[in-house]
Structure formats: C-alpha cells, structure tokens
Structure 1
Amino acid sequence: MASGYDVPEGVEIRGRYDGEFAGILTREALQFVADLQREFRGRVRYAMDRRREAQKSYDAGGSIGFDPATRRVRESDWVCAPVPPPVADRTVEITGPVERKMIINALNSGAKVFMADFEDALSPTWENLMRGQVNLRDAVNGTISFRDEGRKRVYELKAETAKLFVRPRGWHLPEAHVLIDGEPAIACLLDFGLYFFHNHAAFRASHGAGFGPFFYLPKMEHSREAKIWDDVFNRAEKFAGIEKGSIRATVLIETLPAAFQMDEILYELRDHSLGLNCGRWDYIFSYVKTFRSHPSRLLPDRVLVSMSQHFMRSYSDLLIFTCHRRGIPIRDDAAANEAALQLVRSDKAREVRAGHDGTWAAHPGLIPAIAQAFDMGGRPNQIATAKREDAAALTAEDLLQPPRGKRTMEGLRLNTRVGIQYLAAWLAGTGSVPLYNLMEDAATAEISRVQNWQWLRHGAALDGEAVAVRVTPELFARVVEEELARIEREVGAERFARGRYAEACRIFTRQCTATELDEFLTLDAYGQIVVLHPKSAL
C-alpha cells in the first residue's frame, strides 16, 4: 500500500507526508476536527460577514461604541467561574512559537505560564504547524528533548515548569493544506482540535490538576465570536467526557471593536474564562484598520504610540476594571527591549500601579527583574486591591481619542525596513524576528504596514523637514528603494541574495500602496508558503 495519511470521508490532506505527522493526523483526530468544522462553519462564516459589514459602516462614517442591546450584561452583577488553583498565579508569562527548543526553554524559564503560539509568532508553513503539534504532544507527556549539535548540548524539561497555554490562530485564517468537504480547514479549529484530541487526558493528569487544557484566544471582534468558542469548548468537553468548564481560556483584547465588548465576551465565556489580556500591538493595528478612511485618525510614529496615549491608557484601565469586577485576573502584553532593563522595570512598575495582575516577559533573561516588580506581597493577583472604580466612568470618547505625536521621515523609513525584513523572514518560515532591539512578530509588522498605508492614503504631512513634505506614492517609492539598499548593506550581499527580501519588498509595497487596505498582511502572503502534495492521503 502506498504511503499516505489515513483520512476520514470528506477530509483531504495536501501537505507533505511524514511519519511523525501521521501520528498527529490520525483518522480519529481528523474526524474530530471535521466534526467541529461541519458544526460551526456556518456560524464562523456569519461572524466574518458581520465583521466586514461593520468595517463598511466605519468606512462610511458610522460610529463605534457600546452596544445598547447588551446593556443589561454590562450593568448586571455576575462573575465568571473561579480561577482554577493551578493557574491562580500568572504574574509573569512568556510566549514564543511552537518550536522544540523554544518550548523547552520557555517551560524551564521560571515564568508562571508559557503561551505556545500558533498565531502571530509562527509562520504557518506545513512543517511548522505539524512539528509544533508533535512538540506540544511531547511537552505535555514530559518526553520532549532537543539536541543542539553545534553546542553539543541536550535540552530537557526541569522538574518544575511553567503552565502551558496554547494560542490557536484567529477565526479569519484558513488552513490550505487540509480540506474538509472541499473547503480549507478553519485554522483555529484545526490547531485547537488536534492539540485537544491528543493531549487533554495527559494534560489534565500531569499539568492541570483536573483542569485544562488552557488556551489563549486571539483577534476576536465581537461576543458572538466568543460564543462560538464557548460552544466549541462545550462540544470538546462532551466528546472527551470531562466536566463542563474544564477547558479554560484567556481572551486577548487586541481589536478596537472588542474593547467595546469586554463584558459581553466574558459573559459568553464565563464558565470557561481565565480573564482578559491587553494585546497592545494588535490593538494599535486594529485602531488604524478600523479608522482607515478617517484622516483625523492618523497615527504618529510607531514608537510614540505607547501606553501613555490617552486611548491606550483608557483601554487598559477599562480592561482592568472589567476583569476585577467579574472576579478574574488581567494580563498585560508588553513587548520590551531586552537590553534596556531599566526601561523594563519602569514599564512593569507602571503595570503594577495600574492594577494588572501579571505581564509578559519578552525574553527569559528578563524574568527575574519582572518577577521582582510584580511581587505583590504573596498575593497571586490584585483583584481585591485594584478595583479601579474610576474606570467605570470611561466613555467611548476616551477609547477613541486620536493619538498625539509627530509623523517623521524616519518613522516612514523604519516602518518600511521592519515590514520588508519581517515579511522576508515569515516567507522563509520564521514568524518571530529580532530587529533593531525589538522582537517583531506579525502584530508589530502589521502596524508598520497599515501606518504606511494610512499615511499614503491621506497624504500625511511629515514633521521635522526643512520644507513641507507629504507622503506620496513617489516619495514612498524612493523610500522603498533606499531602504531595500540599506537592508542589503546591513544583512550582507550574500545573505540578501539567499533570502526572500525582493519578494517581501514587492508584497509589502503592494499592500502599502493598495487602493483598499487588505485585512491582514499575512493573508496576502499566505499563498507563497503553501506547498501542496495532493497525494499525501490514501
């Protein structure tokens, strides 16, 4: 019999066959994923249609605000299910892609939680996705190891490790390597389904003390999307024969529409909730995308859009208030410069004062300093001490206040360099890239892309120039040419020639100059990393 995946009816695997992958892509696991897709695809399609309709309304000048239809949910008293003891303390978390060495180092890092990322930190090649599932299975079973031939060193798990959370991709993303009834798989259901099917029993036995698995949920824009996740969790719990509420998830509030739906999102997930997270970089990207047709909403240089901006501080304060009112902790997503420990300490002290219960570490080496900043006298959170009642008075205007600051030529150039280099790495299979002392992922690259598009679309005036300069297609073409040459000098001619910089430049430039803003940078580029092997299934 020819080698290939054993698939149930209606499922086609178009990714490369691999014996290890076959241990993940079993007939039973694929049947579970296919059943999820068949049950929920209509609701997912409707939710994505509603996203597009909402964006058309914003483009036409429609308002964004708190939904009067769900006022009762916002104003009534209810709380989420209690936080399970195994994850009561999440003061320091770390994240990274589902690469084998990364998983080991992150679980050993001393952080309380490691979020294994199938989303912004991962380029979704077939190899990355399937090896990631293999790696997570081995991590849950405690058998994961990695031999670094260059260093002659073997990496293995310590006795005490961080709690494992998994972030599947967003509702909007397809998985072209797997077809279900002739349609691409819904990426997040594939990520969730394969991981849950193979690991729920071992995870609960060894990691969750009767709870779990644990997840992070990205990119939602409305509570109807949270309701789908809640029903997916209910369906999975029933399938596995485990108690309702065993699966727990933290929601990343990283889109502007979701900031007006925080109570509603928590309410829909109240039996499965582990709180909310401030995903600041995607939130900035979403602010630009939501107001893409509004010249009054131009962002200043990316480096100036910090938590000191009124709209960002208001979003953070409202999130803290909402979580603590509903009896759950709040995380803060802070990408910090590894080399600037003092800046890290200052940033983390701000987060503690604001009332956050935990934070991200950008690198394992920062964990001791961050843990010290988040020492709350033995308490795992600040629910009882940081109610932030002042945030109850925040209005839609606070959340929407235009950011202030300069727009400069250097900001345009930095956006262009970062966008091209990140996309070149993503096309080559790497989703998290250190550039100019910051760790860039898809979220931060998106800011560079949409900001360039916004400045071009509205002919933004640049500050600090001797003569008046506006961002025009001609100016941008010159900037692209000069910055591509600078990238070649910085990385070296040989590496530049081997890489996918020219291809990335074409895609990035096309997206920045498009008449209509593409929803996501990586959706346009996704076709360039899909490698199909139609005969991989039996």
Structure 2
Amino acid sequence: MHDRIRITATAQGQDRVLTEHALEFLLQLHDAFECTRQQLLQERRTRRAAFADGDSPRFLASTARIRDDASWRVAPPAPGLEDRRVEITGPIERKMTINALNSGAKVWLADCEDASSPLWRNVIASQVNLQDAIRGQIEFTSPAGKEYRVTATHTPTIVVRPRGWHLDEHRILVDGTPMSGSLVDFGLHVFHNAEELISRGTGPYFYLPKIENHREARLWNEVFVMAQQLLVLPQGTIRATVLIETITAAFEMEEILFELREHSAGLNAGRWDYLFSIIKAFRLRGEAFVLPDRSQLTMTAPFMRAYTEQLVRACHRRGAHAIGGMAAFVPSASDPEATERALAAVASDKSREAGDGFDGSWVAHPGLVSTCREAFDAVLGERPNQLDRSREDVPVDGAALIDLSTTRGEITDAGLRSNIEIGIRYLEAWLRGHGAVAIHSLMEDAATAEISRSQVWQWIYAESTTEDGRTITRARCEDIVEELARSVECPEGNRFREAIALFREIALEETYPAFLTLAGTERYLAEGVERTSTGSIAVQSAPSAPNAQPHASDEEREAA
C-alpha cells in the first residue's frame, strides 16, 4: 500500500478493487488534477454568489468562435454506441445489474451517482459487480432463494456514471486529503475493465454528471488523455456523454462538445437535475421564478422545450448523439389501470423526443423498455440514429432558456405535502444505502429529491401561497413533517429520525446547502458515522423561529 494513501473503511471485496496498482493509478490522477478540481469548485461558488446578487447565465463572448465555426465535429460513434434508442439506468446493485443486462435496452447506465447511496459498501460493491458483469460472471441469489442470471443473448453496452466533481471520497485519503469521488469511480473502472471491454468489442464509456461549464469538461478530457497514456490505450478509446443538467451548461453545450471532441459520445437532457439547477440558481428571485408543483413540470413547458430542442440542435450540428430524459414511472401489477395510463404518458413523451430528433432516451425500469423502443422504432426504423437530421430550424435563444413566466400550473397543498414526504422517504432510504427508490409508482433518486426539497425552500423564501390561499411558511411545513412522523411505520433498521433532521437542514433552515448529497454525506455517511438507527421517530423542531425566512448561503455572499 502506498504510504501516502490511507483507507479509513472496510467492505467486502475491497482487496479485489483497491489493489496496490489500482491505488497507484488513482494517486497519479489525484496528483495531476486535484488542484484544478478545487479551482473549478471555487469558481462554482463564485458563480452561485453572482446569481444570488442578480446575475444570469448567458452565452459566452469568449467562446463565440467555437459556436460560429461550423466545420468541427466530434468523433464518430464508438463501437457499441451507434444505436442508443433505449437506455436503462440504475444503481450497480447485483440484482439490478442482472435485470438491466436482461432488459433488452441498447445501453445500461451503471450509476455510481444519483441512483446510488455512497455508503462505502456500495462504492466497493459497484466496482465488484461491474467487473463480474463485464466478464459474464455475475449471478445473484436472493435471501428468499430466488436465483438471478444473465440470460439475454445480446446485453446492453455498459456506460458508467461516476460521481460529480463536487463529491469527495472521504474514505480514501491522500496526505490526509480526500480523493475526488469522480476520479475514484472513473479510475477504478477504467483501470480494472478497459482492456476487458475492448476485447469484447466495446470500450470504457462514461456519463459525466453535474458539469457546469466547458472548463469542467476540459478537465475530464485531460483526465481521459492521461488515463489512456498510463494504461497504454489509444487516444479516443474512452468516450463520454455529458449530462446537460445545469442551467449554466445549457449555455455552453457546443463548447462542452468541443472540449471532449475525440472523446465525446454526445449530450443527454438530464431533465430532473436541470429543473433542480434552475430552482437553485434563481431561488432568490421572487415569484417570477417560482415554479408550480413538481408533478406539473412537464417537458412541454416552454423553457424545457427550448432546452431540449437546443440540445438536439447543438448535438446534430456537431455529429453527436442527443439522448432524451428519464421516464421514472414504475409499472405496478396491482394497479393495471394506473399502469396503462402511465405507459400511455411515457409513450407520448418518448414519441415527442423521437420526433424532436433525439437519438434515444432513458427509462428507469425494465417494464418501460419496450414502450420506449417502440416510440423510437416508429421514427428511426432500421437506422441506428438520426444524426443526419439537422435542427437548424431551432433558434439559439438564451432568453427562452430562463423565461419561466409562461410556465402554467399552481402550487397545491397536495404538492407541498408530496415534496416533503418524498424528500424524507427518499433520504431515509438513501441513508440506509438505497439510491433509487420507488415511491408512489415513481422511481425517485437524488435528483428528484433535490427538486422536492428545493421547491419547499424556495416556496418558504418567496412566501408563496397554495391554491387555497394559505402562505407557505416554515411552521406550516413543520406541521406536515410532524404529521408524517406520526403516521409513518418504523420498521427495525429505519433511519427516519436522521432523515427528518437532514430534511430540516436542507429544506427548512435559513441556509440553503448546494447539494443534499454533500450535506448528507458529511453529516451521516462519513468515516465512523455509517450506522443504523432503530426505534420511533422523535420529532423536535429546529431552534430557529417558526417563520424564519431562508437566505442565501454564506458562500454565495462571500467574495471569491
């Protein structure tokens, strides 16, 4: 073991993953890129402070030459990524890995990020399961004795989503400093599996989350170049699809493609995190930027249409895939009528995406694969994609991306209660190690929980009213929290007590944390803090005044 590295936790399979050579590889990446990562994170804080003071994102004058130059293109699709009409997403749990490989999707997004709780055992198990899945060695037997095996003749191309740049891996310390969670997830996968993937006809492919600008994409490109040099892989072997899920990235889509060109596999419309980003960026702007109930925020809202259509235009202009957003519905055999209605809505959503020019789209459940595939089959036919379909008819319109004034809908008491319930229930499952959770027939992950808690925070700050004329205050939200606490069942091993405390911190307190995953990891999942609580829920209001109004965080007010 390298004397500069200290591992502060243990988990089954760790020796297989954290080998001496793998750790040396991670250390080389850390030494080369940690300083730049920290600089970029400081720039994020500066940008958030500017938004808090009234600034707005815009197209960059400094990169106009990139947007204006019509000659450049990204690399052609890599092996296994030519046809992406259906992509299934999910955590890299052993059973869910097998289900994804058997799903019939073209691509499996193996998720180390929003659909995965970063417990140490999950970080290690994800890498173990990836190794086994890639080598055709993965099996699973449930506690009830049910056996799961890969039976599909053709399995999806595997694309791994590492954690975002903002997340540390605090259980791997270098000279006492945590490694980047991004580099740990990326580095372990590419180190252990790149050659095996290439030998099987694909390659090491990634989805890059939470990118805020082209300089963050440039850092990833530099990581790819160095990793390929260290592992003696041809440049361009690694490919990455960037999730456009922040409002600032939406203004730099072509620049992001440019930075990654030989490593680019396209862009994805990360709809849920994108909504979260908009709420976060403009949460201090008052009623003009307050959105209605989460359930009413569909992709037909004008600002969301502008975002998705401009994404397709940017991608196809540069020869890159445009991948649509998540269908989060979970089919239920116990409610066939509701399932039928939901499948019809999914079919309509996917048909709209295919008609708009997207080359594929996401689903969260195997039961949605055929619905998505049929929608894209109807448009694509035998073609693998529609890269040849230009969307030059779409205007490049920055104002449309941030014009929320035409969004229709209302804030309801039911919507407020739903946000609070989903936020707390998701956090409770997340603290127990589950990053993707079915709640009321929808697959919730960190992104959807971020929307829920951020809307509650913004509605309190803006003194918004529900459809019945009542103002949303902290006291009103506390009453709903207490009602939920009294009604929820508390099975052994629950973490509702901590989930409620965490929800108060991220949704009801004056200071707004940038990410629930940051707050939750630092408070509950750090070294020595991973634990299980039992017993009833103790509801105790936080000490601040019942109607205290939130404000911008300290980091948003300080000068860079």
1:160 maps to 154
* CA-CA distance at 1:142 after TM superposition: 1.5
TM-score by length of 2: 0.89
1:193-342 superposed matches below 5 A: 193-208=187-202, 212-295=203-286, 296-337=288-329, 338=331, 339=339, 340-342=342-344
- 167-176 or 510-519, which deviates more: 510-519
Question: 2:485, 2:301 → 1: CA distance?
Answer: 32
Contact 2:9 2:527 in 1 (8 A): yes
TM-score by length of 1: 0.93
Question: 2:102, 2:189 → 1: CA distance?
Answer: 21
* CA-CA distance at 1:453 after TM superposition: 0.3
Question: 1:187, 1:334 → 2: CA distance?
Answer: 24
Q: CA separation of 1:154/1:415 partners in 2, compared to 1, >3 Å: closer, same or farther?
A: closer
Determine whether 1:499 maps to 2:522. Answer: no
Q: Counterpart of 1:384 in structure 2: which amino acid?
A: D
Question: 2:148, 2:293 → 1: CA distance?
Answer: 43
1:450-478 Cα deviation digits (max 9, x unpaired): 00000011111222x1xx31111221111
Question: 2:251, 2:172 → 1: CA distance?
Answer: 35
Question: 2:493, 2:262 → 1: CA distance?
Answer: 50
Question: 2:383, 2:505 → 1: CA distance?
Answer: 50
Contact 1:118 1:191 in 2 (8 A): yes
Q: Counterpart of 2:263 in structure 1: which amino acid?
A: H
1:530 maps to 526
How many equivalent pairs are there?
512
2:186 maps to 192
1:342-394 Cα deviation digits (max 9, x unpaired): 11111111111111110112211221222111111201111223x12121x23
* CA-CA distance at 1:516 after TM superposition: 2.2
Contact 1:115 1:164 in 2 (8 A): yes
Contact 2:161 2:209 in 1 (8 A): yes
* CA-CA distance at 1:305 after TM superposition: 1.0
Question: 1:25, 1:207 → 2: CA distance?
Answer: 26
Question: 2:230, 2:147 → 1: CA distance?
Answer: 41
* CA-CA distance at 1:106 after TM superposition: 0.5
Of 452, 468, 475, which aligns to 1:448? 452
Q: CA separation of 1:361/1:408 partners in 2, compared to 1, >3 Å: closer, same or farther?
A: same
Question: 1:305, 1:341 → 2: CA distance?
Answer: 18
Question: 2:356, 2:163 → 1: CA distance?
Answer: 29
* CA-CA distance at 1:152 after TM superposition: 3.7
- 402-411 or 105-114, which deviates more: 402-411
Question: 1:195, 1:157 → 2: CA distance?
Answer: 24
Q: CA separation of 1:498/1:397 partners in 2, compared to 1, >3 Å: closer, same or farther?
A: same
Question: 2:135, 2:2 → 1: CA distance?
Answer: 26
Q: CA separation of 1:218/1:176 partners in 2, compared to 1, >3 Å: closer, same or farther?
A: same
2:403 maps to 401
Q: Structure 1: where are the runs of 5+ without partners? A: 1-6, 534-538
1:45-104 Cα deviation digits (max 9, x unpaired): 111111111111111011211011100011112110111242100000001101111111
Of 352, 356, 359, which aligns to 1:357? 359
Moved over 3 A (4+): 156-159
Question: 1:436, 1:363 → 2: CA distance?
Answer: 14
- 55-64 or 433-442, which deviates more: 55-64
* CA-CA distance at 1:13 after TM superposition: 0.3
1:468-487 superposed matches below 5 A: 468-486=469-487
2:141 maps to 147
Q: Counterpart of 1:526 in structure 2: which amino acid?
A: T
* CA-CA distance at 1:17 after TM superposition: 5.3
Q: CA separation of 1:12/1:206 partners in 2, compared to 1, >3 Å: closer, same or farther?
A: same
2:117 maps to 123
Contact 1:417 1:484 in 2 (8 A): no
* CA-CA distance at 1:184 after TM superposition: 0.7
SS in 1 for 2:262: coil
Q: Counterpart of 1:449 in structure 2: which amino acid?
A: R
Contact 1:145 1:157 in 2 (8 A): no
* CA-CA distance at 1:157 after TM superposition: 5.0
Of 153, 162, 173, which aligns to 1:179? 173
Determine whether 1:34 maps to 2:27. Answer: yes
2:42 maps to 49
Question: 1:401, 1:63 → 2: CA distance?
Answer: 11
Contact 1:91 1:358 in 2 (8 A): yes
1:35-114 superposed matches below 5 A: 35-77=28-70, 78-114=72-108
* CA-CA distance at 1:274 after TM superposition: 0.3
2:373 maps to 371
Q: Structure 2: where are the runs of 5+ without partners? A: 332-338, 530-560
Contact 2:11 2:124 in 1 (8 A): no
2:336 maps to none
Of 506, 509, 520, which aligns to 1:511? 506
